[in-house]
Structure 1
Amino acid sequence: MKTSNKMLQILFITVFTLGLTSCSDDDDNGNIIDQPQTIADIVSESDDFDILLAAAIRADLVETLSSTANTNLTVFAPTDAAFLTYLEADDEAAAIAAVNALPEQAVANLLLNHVLGTAVMSSDITAGYVEALSTNADGDALNLYIGVADGTVSVNGVADVVTADVDADNGVIHVVDAVIPEATVVTFATADPNFSSLVAALTRESSFSYVATLSTANGTDPAPFTVFAPTNDAFTALIAELDAVEALGDIPTATLEAALNTHVVAGANVREADLTDGPVTTLGGEVTIDASTAVITDANGRESTIVVTNVQASNGVIHAIDTVLLPEL
């Protein structure tokens, strides 16, 4: 049985949605007319989304999830169990109290990180990047990485869809088993299988601190970052290029660390539109960018082309490149 607190929450939803639903239960022929079932309605009526409902109220997003006017959303909806794990709470009451103790804007951005601006049914989901309604500090839309493997859809490598295609009048809900925090650049590197070699390089030596550094929250030095991220094919080509190197593990530590540094610009979130011609200072020295051709030239005259742009994380942006950049040899 729902608690009195839950009943008050449902009443709150009803007040918000009353003007958006039919006021009549009957049509002219005396037949019952189905009332609209918005995303907010479904969340409020389910025993699995008490904490999500409380978070939506705290974030003042109930109206957003209730509106049927020019609205077609996809919501990756975390269950109560998912929120309990994320908030490290013992029970729902403690979790709701924790939600209400957070700043409204922080809760709003977290929830919007679970929402797409278009309705996407499971049959239309493909692997790749999509834009959520959450934003970074500059107002740029954050990305989500959707993975599809062995019949399972995952989001940012942290949440799996456990129930798909819960249809609503203003979109669709896909139930997920974990809360999806705003991604860092490390989140995308680990979630996207095209960067598995990069992750192996970043974590090869225990002395490397890249994961911790690139996980730094926006606004905290040295974030934000612009990362020119080599694909797996780029690393394969590098191994073929270097003499006496047959695998990533054969690259000398000093060379590998210097190379990785050459792919990171600290203190700037430079999106494609803001790339300009000329030298750019990375953690490993200067590279030169030709913005018109999307080509980066390292200190050795080797050229790398940007093949994917503007993968936006909360603490920086990733541009995928097809050749590993090297410091001056």
Structure 2
Amino acid sequence: MLLLLTLGMFFASCEDDEPADQPTIVGFAQDNPDFSILVDALTAADLVTALDDRSASLTVFAPNNAAFQAFLAANNFASLADVPVATLRQVLLYHVLGTAETSDKLETKYYNTLAEYAAGEPLSFFLNTSGGVKINADVDVILADQQVANGVIHAVDKVIAPANIVTLALANTNFSNLVAALTRTDLTADFVTILSGTGPFTVFAPTNQAFVNLLASNPAWNSINDVPVATLEAVLKYHVVAGANVRAGDIQDDAPVTTFEGSTFSIDLSGAVPVINAGSNIANIVATDVQGTNGVVHAIDTVLLP
């Protein structure tokens, strides 16, 4: 009996020691030569302490050395030292989630990162889990589920650049009809260029089903290309608020919202979900606060008609 108690205490002691022996996010990167540039970047951006904190629970999408070298070359930086510290810090925090998410828990959706547009306004990225894990339709996870003491690391093949609202929409296939509308070649307004600008913009983005319903409302409209140019341009402008980053918490109940098209609508906050009242048609806001570097996107279930 004494022997069994002794062995039990020994194994319990070993189990208690395991977390202390497991490296942190920073320790894992330091122990792996292929993440040496990441370590240098974390040091330069003063993020080592935050990512070395054993009480934290984080997910890091970690670019390898090749990813960093490609990032530096693409942005005409001769070395890591040439990247402005504020820029580097923002880019690195865009690779971090505030919870530990193993690959089996990741979903196809927008995630909020630790990078911020402004205080308390986290930048988003779109993660797609169909056929692997891809971020913003461009960055692939190449080595998943490296467990560490303060979370999990997924190695990625590119540095994830903080995305503007156009990139965030392009990444999500549920906005493919909206993208098709915005990129129609016969439009007089270049919406992609406009919405890729400095902003800020607030976009109320109709889902694919919203556009399907719009086309079904007119027998002459079999596709987005059948919608008259003037009508489509007015409709698209009616979904944009220029000059403001209006997050869900900024919306005022029933206050007029002036759109890029010039007309207004109001938003009713009295129900379970916010409802846009736009003349004879209404739309439910089904997702909020997809934050880009130049504005914010809210998904809606109906195309608004000015």
* TM-score, with length taken from structure 2: 0.88
Kindly state the Cα deviation for residue 297 of structure 1 after the two structures are TM-superposed.
Answer: 2.3
When residues 32 and 209 of structure 1 are mapped into structure 2, their CA distance, relative to the original with a 3 A threshold, is closer
Aligned to 2:299: 320
Aligned to 1:241: 217
Aligned to 1:273: 249
Kindly state the Cα deviation for residue 243 of structure 1 after the two structures are TM-superposed.
Answer: 3.9
When residues 32 and 71 of structure 1 are mapped into structure 2, their CA distance, relative to the original with a 3 A threshold, is closer
Answering whether residue 130 of structure 2 is matched by residue 130 of structure 1, we say no
Alpha-carbon contact 1:51-1:96 (below 8 Å) kept: no
- The one-letter amino acid paired with 1:43 is A
Aligned to 1:311: 290
Query: Hey, what's the Cα distance between the residues in 1 that align with 2:129 and 2:181?
Result: 24
Alpha-carbon contact 2:20-2:149 (below 8 Å) kept: no
Kindly state the Cα deviation for residue 95 of structure 1 after the two structures are TM-superposed.
Answer: 8.6
- The one-letter amino acid paired with 2:30 is S
Alpha-carbon contact 2:174-2:207 (below 8 Å) kept: yes
Q: How big is each residue's C-alpha offset from its partner over 1:215-266, in whole Å with a ceiling of 9 and x where there is no partner?
A: 223xxxxx11110000000000000112411111111111111110000001
Gap runs ≥5 in structure 1: 1-26, 218-222
Q: How big is each residue's C-alpha offset from its partner over 1:134-178, in whole Å with a ceiling of 9 and x where there is no partner?
A: 10034411122110112x111121211110011111111100111
- The one-letter amino acid paired with 1:325 is L
Kindly state the Cα deviation for residue 97 of structure 1 after the two structures are TM-superposed.
Answer: 5.1
Aligned to 1:48: 34
- The one-letter amino acid paired with 2:57 is N
Query: Hey, what's the Cα distance between the residues in 1 that align with 2:165 and 2:22?
Result: 39
Answering whether residue 43 of structure 2 is matched by residue 57 of structure 1, we say yes
Answering whether residue 174 of structure 2 is matched by residue 194 of structure 1, we say yes
Q: Which runs of 4+ in 1 moved over 4 A?
A: 31-34, 94-97
* TM-score, with length taken from structure 1: 0.82
Kindly state the Cα deviation for residue 286 of structure 1 after the two structures are TM-superposed.
Answer: 1.5
1:288 to 247, 257, 266: 266
Q: How big is each residue's C-alpha offset from its partner over 1:122-144, in whole Å with a ceiling of 9 and x where there is no partner?
A: 11111112211110034411122
1:166 to 142, 146, 155: 146
Aligned to 2:227: 251
Aligned to 2:3: none
Aligned to 1:88: 73
Q: How big is each residue's C-alpha offset from its partner over 1:71-115, in whole Å with a ceiling of 9 and x where there is no partner?
A: 1111000111112222216xxxx9985322222222111101000
Query: Hey, what's the Cα distance between the residues in 2 that align with 1:64 and 1:165?
Result: 20
SS in 2 for 1:283: coil
Alpha-carbon contact 2:62-2:154 (below 8 Å) kept: yes
When residues 194 and 64 of structure 1 are mapped into structure 2, their CA distance, relative to the original with a 3 A threshold, is same
- The one-letter amino acid paired with 1:201 is A
Aligned residue pairs, count: 287
Kindly state the Cα deviation for residue 34 of structure 1 after the two structures are TM-superposed.
Answer: 7.3
